Amino acid sequence: MSEIRVENLSKAYASGRLALTSASFKYEGSGAIGYLGPNGAGKTTTLKLLTGLLRPSAGASYLNGVNVIQDRKHALEDVGCVIESPEPYPSQTVEEAIEMVSDFRGGPYRSLAHDIADLNVKLELPPLKSKTGRLSKGQRQRVVIAASLIRDPRVLILDEPTSGLDPKERILIRNLLNDLKKDHLILMSSHLMQEVTDICDQVIFINQGQILLRDTVENVATRFQARAVDVEFATPIVLDRIRAIGPLVQDAVVIGERRYRLTFDGSNSSRAEILTGLVKLGPVLSYQSASLVLEDAYLALMGGEPAPVAGAPAPGLHLPPPPA
């Protein structure tokens, strides 16, 4: 069974700076895990420790049950990685670069052309005979993603896989990862909340080398329940009338021609009462949580605004309690 396991993993640099402090997590089977945190939080350090690019100061990491430091070759046997900004030899063609990875991983040579053709369709690769040194950043990124997928490894470790890609390319990768996560285990770091929301089933939040929260996206959404709702009316409504619904509405702003965002305390009872008030103002076409749940959680955990719930402990140190 596919497995990514980290046990009390720590990394201190010679300068004394602690890049990672006693991180532990374990995932098995299939699915996608988002690894979130600001720059310098320890995301890439964790992924490098997981793949043997760095050596831990303490603790251990395992891929498919094999200790990465003790037996790197077998630990990485069934693992595809995109860490930092990988670059094939600039003189290699796209085809040669993917072939090289395939040769190191092993597999039936006669199916290689078919596998590359398959990846070419999925990732819209640049011409296979073009030199990788002459590709744009986005093209090169698609080539290294293709190389990470050749021979179909069961575990994928991706460090901001859509970095440097244009919106069309991002959609391509997002769709591919959504397809892959059905029978692969994917750990991906990202800065893009929407990307993590769209792809991942679970999330890990990390800051200053410490894991702050690990949970399913659904639970995080519940825990950091949206304190904002978006409402769309059939006809424009004067903003003051919305604000006049009552004290439950803390604020209201216009976000579209007939669309408004209301902030409130986040509880389900308030949410229901506000809807009752809104319906009295005019026909409501839609009423839903503002789609920023992970972003709210991120900001709360990393010490930004807004705070998770009124009266919650200091952000970044403790988790807010689930709403009643």
Partner 1 sequence: METRHLPTDFEQWWTAFRHQFKFYLHTSRFLALLLLVLIATGAVIGVTIWRGGGIGSGVAYVSGFLGLFGLFGILIGAFMGGDALAIDFGGGTGYFTLVLPVRRSVLLLGRYVAAFVASAVLIGVFYGGVVLGSLYHYHTPSTIVPGVPLVESLLLALLYACGILSVAFFFSSFFRSPSVSIVATVLILIFGLNVADAIVGSLGYTPYYSINYAENVLVSVLGAPRSPLSTSPTISVETGALIFLAYFVIFLAASLVFYHFKESKG
The residue ranges that bind partner 1 (CB under 8 A) are 13, 48, 51-55, 72-77, 79, 81-89, 91-92, 96-97, 100-101, 103-108, 111, 144, 147, 151-152
Taking the complex as a whole, the smallest distance from the CB of residue 20 to partner 1 amounts, in Å, to 13
Nearer to partner 1, 101 or 284 (CB): 101
Taking the complex as a whole, the smallest distance from the CB of residue 115 to partner 1 amounts, in Å, to 11
Nearer to partner 1, 81 or 319 (CB): 81
Taking the complex as a whole, the smallest distance from the CB of residue 160 to partner 1 amounts, in Å, to 12
State the amino acid at position 287 in one-letter form. Answer: Y
Nearer to partner 1, 104 or 166 (CB): 104
C-alpha neighbours within 13 Å on the C-beta side of residue 236: 7
Nearer to partner 1, 93 or 270 (CB): 93
Taking the complex as a whole, the smallest distance from the CB of residue 162 to partner 1 amounts, in Å, to 16
Taking the complex as a whole, the smallest distance from the CB of residue 24 to partner 1 amounts, in Å, to 22
Nearer to partner 1, 36 or 155 (CB): 155
| SS3 track for the chain | CCEEEEEEEEEECCCCCEEEEEEEEEEECCEEEEEECCCCCCHHHHHHHHCCCCCCCEEEEEECCEECCCCHHHHCCCEEEECCCCCCCCCCEHHHHHHHHHHHHCCCHHHHHHHHHHHHHHHCCCCCCCEHHHCCHHHHHHHHHHHHHCCCCCEEEEECCCCCCCHHHHHHHHHHHHHHCCCCEEEEEECCHHHHHHHCCEEEEEECCEEEEEEEHHHHHHHCCCCEEEEEECCCCCHHHHHCCCCCCCEEEECCCCEEEEECCCCHHHHHHHHHHHHHHCCEEEEEECCCHHHHHHHHHCCCCCCCCCCCCCCCCCCCCCCC
Taking the complex as a whole, the smallest distance from the CB of residue 165 to partner 1 amounts, in Å, to 16
Is the Cα dihedral 208, 212, 217, 220 positive or negative? negative
Taking the complex as a whole, the smallest distance from the CB of residue 111 to partner 1 amounts, in Å, to 7
Nearer to partner 1, 105 or 243 (CB): 105
Nearer to partner 1, 126 or 320 (CB): 126
